[in-house]
Structure 1
Amino acid sequence: MAPDAFQIEHRYQELPPSFYTRVQPTPLTDARMVCFNHELAEQMGIHTGNPEDWTGIGAGTELLEGMDPVAMKYTGHQFGMYNPDLGDGRGLLLWETRGPDGQRWDWHLKGAGMTPYSRFGDGRAVLRSTIREYLCSEAMAGLGVPTTRALFMVSARDPVQRESIETAATLMRVAQSHLRFGHFEYAAYHEGEEAVRSLLDHTIALHFPHLLQQPEEARYRLWLTEVVTRTARLIARWQALGFCHGVMNSDNMSIIGDTFDYGPYAFLDEFDAGHICNHSDQGGRYAYNRQPQIGFVNCQYLARALAPVMDEDDLRRALRQYETSYNDSFLANLRDKLGLAQPEENDIEVIMDTFNLLQSHQVDHTRFFRGLSTLPSRGEAPVRDLFVDRKAADQWLARYQTRLERETRPDAELEAAMCAVNPKYILRNYLAQLVIQEAQNGDYEPMQQLLDVLRRPYDEQPENEAYAALPPDWGKHLNISCSS
């Protein structure tokens, strides 16, 4: 372990003290290091030949020199209702570092124990949910989606009461920023105009430094426009990949456009536009097809919090960028997925025709687009075999081939381009469940094997074909709760 390989910072603590509380981690007992992300560690400037060196940090029994843990205070809208009592209820920001490449990282220990913002919680995270976050954050990174990352994970024997008695674990989540939309809501509704301005100036200086070159009177508007644009583009990526977040509360929205807080997520299996992956979301507020609109609603919440320091017309101008950015990104993503490099005006009709087909015949989202990618080398069978109604598949394929005939790329180039955006491997919930079951029995090798596959989702990996299989009946549409 070589902490001197990176530069240590505590920039979050430059904010007014009301934005955080100093808290020491609550130690776990009999902790063991079960997963360590060597590739990410190297990127961050961490050089260690022995991951066990970090076990005490994950267990909350040790702090390195320079670590100064704080629980962040924020608020937010949860399922459309404002909650003033939010904050880091089970996580601590230990420190911030800069790696050799200049990239900065927040180190956030999830499951570190109770804080002033725990409300009625115990401050712990269970093994099940910790594995799910580790897997999905690394899967999203492999897919090229902006995301928080998992540096390492520690398990322990401490019992934790959820629906049943489970065991505790911690995750070292790292991100370029842990600032959320909810930080701005807290500043606006509880601390006042100067706090909003301080938070804005801090955020721009740290995470949007290019805007410091802009005239001061335009800086906030340009910043909000960029946040809105990043958010829209992120959700367009989710929709293209068939990813359902499950809990798009405004306190789970990253100010820099990362996928943030992995709870009851899911990647679509059989396509269902109205799929609800969160057992607790009884009204379907965060269903797959509602995610784009909810992204805009959250941007509205953010804009409302900025009203004390921004002109109303500037707020409206920035918000208008959401629809444009989302539509442009979604159209570009789907053209790429369908191999349409020569844009045509009616491409949106081709796209909607495709989704209507998937919806009507409940076709597996990922395998369908991967099958399309290999049409030149493998023919139509990988697509047709997904349909009970082969006639419907043939009719759609005929229309699609007619559109493809107007493309000019050679077949090999087309296939390579489509395979680079249509993954073969995704984190299906049943795969995560199998790994969790093995880990609960003390075997983490299956988790490591799955992680290795998910880090190369666009590669064929013939030795790992089983991970690309359709889910078994028991593994379809698994209900995942918010409990963690």
Structure 2
Amino acid sequence: MRYQNTYVNLDTRLYHEQPPTPLDNPRAGHFNTQVAQQLGWIEDKELMTNWVEIVSGQYVPASFKPLAMAYAGHQFGQWAGQLGDGRGLLMAQVLDNDDQPQDLHLKGVGLTPYSRMGDGRAVLRSTIREYLCGHALTKLGIPSSNALGFVVSDTRVRRERIETGAALMRVADSHIRLGHVEWIASFAPDLLDTFTDYMIDTYYPEYRDSDAPVAAFLTAVVERTARMIADWQLIGFAHGVMNTDNLSITGSTLDFGPFGFMERFNPAWINNHSDHTGRYAYQNQPAIGHWNLNVWLPHFMRLEGVTRETLADCLAPYEATFMQHYQQGLCRKLGLPHQRESLGLAFEWLTLLEDNLLDYTNSFRALLGLVAPADHPYEQKLLATMTTELSSDAQQVWQDWSARYLAQIEQLPLEQAVNDMQTNNPVYVLRNSMAQRAITAADQGQFEEVDRVFRLLANPYSVQDIANDLDSSAPAPDTPQVPISCSS
């Protein structure tokens, strides 16, 4: 691999250098060959031979520079003070095959100075969920951390009960969070100038020669965050815990805790059982993204030449960027051009889904069975299932809407409409029940289901032979989607 360990050269107040604390008797859980190829890991005999030992913390290659990062954050809207890598270590920074920086971050490898009340460990169930979700979002085309692989061990970890300890090698284009700047502003304000330069030079070098590089960088973070959250909304993904310490400066999805993919469509859905007020409900994610950025940006007023007006200009594109990306994507999901008539149909469609608690993923995909039934027998079955769930009144609404929708489609080149629908409406997302079946098997030492789900999610926009009916089955309409615990 092409190492570029630069974070370790920053001021030592920003991190704590330390080795991982090994897991006991580690065994392979799953290995992501494609990520390994992209990193150059697969070409290094030492890394390939010892990958289980490396991910379990038993062996640290000489080129790795493990350290725990300090950061702070606002959690559920309240200042939480110093946080930091409480169970993770930035092991190395590399350039991938596309010359893009990538962090190798090991999660679940013991206590750090930032562990607070934690034990520094990760459990198998949350490790599998993060591993599969990072993979799923990446293959859905949404910027996200991914993972090289995970291991399971004999280390026992206490949560609500005693569980199996595991570790994950997370790979992300950056592990710098909005909370890093919040930490600097509170505890080491003299570092803001050099740290801002580091963020620009490392992750946004194209703005270094700009007339106003700091403003260009901040605007880019705002716009990338808006697009990422629009992508979440379009695919029906809810992060569940959008604290400022869980948002990356690169606009890539980071930190998978109580996440979930929408099943029965309910915009007010809360997928985090600790979110008693619904702050991070699916429908609130765009507003929370704006809130987080609005908290983050004022810290840069400490820099020379950055004024309140500058920061207002940086934040201003958020709403327009989000709305344009979301509306364009929504129209593509229907195979329609981005125009007023299309948006009217799209929002009527979402209302139909909400009023009848229809499955979000299946219902969008089912429209291919309406538009091009001869070529889409699988989608025809989805369409038949969907329409049988409609009441007589809803049937009339559906008939009226589908007639007007088909009239719009008929004015367009059918091939283009079908292509847009196929490439923007997945057949498979990581449903909680799917992840749970993989976890249940893994608890018994069987990782074949993890591998099957991994392979299924590698091609989410195509119907696959390795799928079974449970992979795309929605819960009954009167069965609420179970919220997920933050415990991991």
For the superposition of Structure 1 and Structure 2, which TM-score range results when normalised by the shorter chain?
over 0.9
User: Could you tell me which amino acid in structure 1 is paired with residue 10 of structure 2?
Assistant: L
User: Could you tell me which amino acid in structure 1 is paired with residue 439 of structure 2?
Assistant: I
Task: Say whether residues 1:115 and 2:112 are aligned partners.
Answer: yes
Structure-2 residue corresponding to 1:420:
423
Matches within 5 A, 1:319-398: 319-341=315-337, 343-378=338-373, 382-386=382-386, 387-389=389-391, 391-398=393-400
CA–CA distance in structure 2, aligned partners of residues 311 and 401 of structure 1: 53
DSSP 3-state at the match of 1:307: helix
TM-score by length of structure 1 reads: 0.94
Structure-2 residue corresponding to 1:402:
404
Structure-1 residue corresponding to 2:452:
449
Q: Is the 8 A contact 2:41 2:48 kept in 1?
A: no
Q: Is the 8 A contact 1:188 1:196 kept in 2?
A: yes
* Structure 2 residue corresponding to 1:85, chosen from 82, 89, 96: 82
In terms of mean alpha carbon deviation, does 386-395 or 285-294 score higher?
Answer: 386-395
Equivalences, count: 475
Matches within 5 A, 1:38-437: 38-47=33-42, 51=48, 53-192=50-189, 194-215=190-211, 218-309=212-303, 310-341=306-337, 343-378=338-373, 382-386=382-386, 387-389=389-391, 391-407=393-409, 408-437=411-440
Structure-2 residue corresponding to 1:3:
none
Deviations 1:317-371 (Å, cap 9, x if unpaired)? 1111111111111100100111112x33243332221221111100000000000
DSSP 3-state at the match of 1:109: strand
CA–CA distance in structure 2, aligned partners of residues 382 and 127 of structure 1: 34
Deviations 1:168-192 (Å, cap 9, x if unpaired)? 0000001111110000111112211
DSSP 3-state at the match of 2:41: coil
Task: Say whether residues 1:30 and 2:25 are aligned partners.
Answer: yes
Q: Unpaired segments of 5 or more residues in structure 1?
A: 1-5
CA–CA distance in structure 1, aligned partners of residues 440 and 109 of structure 2: 23
Q: Is the 8 A contact 1:242 1:267 kept in 2?
A: yes
User: Could you tell me which amino acid in structure 2 is paired with residue 414 of structure 1?
Assistant: A
CA–CA distance in structure 2, aligned partners of residues 432 and 358 of structure 1: 24
Decide whether aligned partners of structure 1 residues 395 and 269 sit closer, same or farther in structure 2, where only a CA change above 3 A counts: same
User: Could you tell me which amino acid in structure 1 is paired with residue 343 of structure 2?
Assistant: I
Decide whether aligned partners of structure 1 residues 475 and 466 sit closer, same or farther in structure 2, where only a CA change above 3 A counts: farther
Decide whether aligned partners of structure 1 residues 101 and 345 sit closer, same or farther in structure 2, where only a CA change above 3 A counts: closer
Decide whether aligned partners of structure 1 residues 381 and 10 sit closer, same or farther in structure 2, where only a CA change above 3 A counts: closer
Q: Is the 8 A contact 1:136 1:262 kept in 2?
A: yes
DSSP 3-state at the match of 1:316: helix
In terms of mean alpha carbon deviation, does 466-475 or 422-431 score higher?
Answer: 466-475
Decide whether aligned partners of structure 1 residues 265 and 185 sit closer, same or farther in structure 2, where only a CA change above 3 A counts: same
User: Could you tell me which amino acid in structure 1 is paired with residue 300 of structure 2?
Assistant: L
Deviations 1:402-424 (Å, cap 9, x if unpaired)? 24423443334322220110000
In terms of mean alpha carbon deviation, does 386-395 or 425-434 score higher?
Answer: 386-395
DSSP 3-state at the match of 1:115: coil
* Structure 1 residue 381: Cα displacement: 6.1
CA–CA distance in structure 2, aligned partners of residues 475 and 131 of structure 1: 25
CA–CA distance in structure 2, aligned partners of residues 8 and 35 of structure 1: 24
DSSP 3-state at the match of 2:167: strand
DSSP 3-state at the match of 1:154: strand
CA–CA distance in structure 2, aligned partners of residues 132 and 226 of structure 1: 30
* Structure 1 residue 34: Cα displacement: 1.3
Deviations 1:446-480 (Å, cap 9, x if unpaired)? 00000000010001114424254324559851221
Decide whether aligned partners of structure 1 residues 238 and 390 sit closer, same or farther in structure 2, where only a CA change above 3 A counts: farther
User: Could you tell me which amino acid in structure 2 is paired with residue 247 of structure 1?
Assistant: V
* Structure 1 residue 257: Cα displacement: 0.4
Q: Is the 8 A contact 1:35 1:153 kept in 2?
A: yes
DSSP 3-state at the match of 2:446: coil
RMSD, matched Cα: 1.8
In terms of mean alpha carbon deviation, does 42-51 or 278-287 score higher?
Answer: 42-51
DSSP 3-state at the match of 2:291: helix
TM-score by length of structure 2 reads: 0.93
Q: Unpaired segments of 5 or more residues in structure 2?
A: 375-379
In terms of mean alpha carbon deviation, does 356-365 or 381-390 score higher?
Answer: 381-390
CA–CA distance in structure 1, aligned partners of residues 395 and 55 of structure 2: 51
* Structure 1 residue 240: Cα displacement: 0.7
In terms of mean alpha carbon deviation, does 122-131 or 59-68 score higher?
Answer: 59-68
Deviations 1:225-264 (Å, cap 9, x if unpaired)? 1111110111011011110100000000010000110000
Decide whether aligned partners of structure 1 residues 390 and 333 sit closer, same or farther in structure 2, where only a CA change above 3 A counts: farther
Structure 1 segments of 4+ aligned residues over 6 angstroms from their partners: none
In terms of mean alpha carbon deviation, does 412-421 or 48-57 score higher?
Answer: 48-57
User: Could you tell me which amino acid in structure 1 is paired with residue 121 of structure 2?
Assistant: R
Q: Is the 8 A contact 1:189 1:305 kept in 2?
A: no
CA–CA distance in structure 1, aligned partners of residues 371 and 270 of structure 2: 35
Report % sequence identity: 38
DSSP 3-state at the match of 1:261: coil
User: Could you tell me which amino acid in structure 2 is paired with residue 406 of structure 1?
Assistant: Q
Matches within 5 A, 1:468-479: 468-472=471-475, 477-479=481-483
DSSP 3-state at the match of 2:28: strand
DSSP 3-state at the match of 2:129: helix
* Structure 1 residue 388: Cα displacement: 2.9
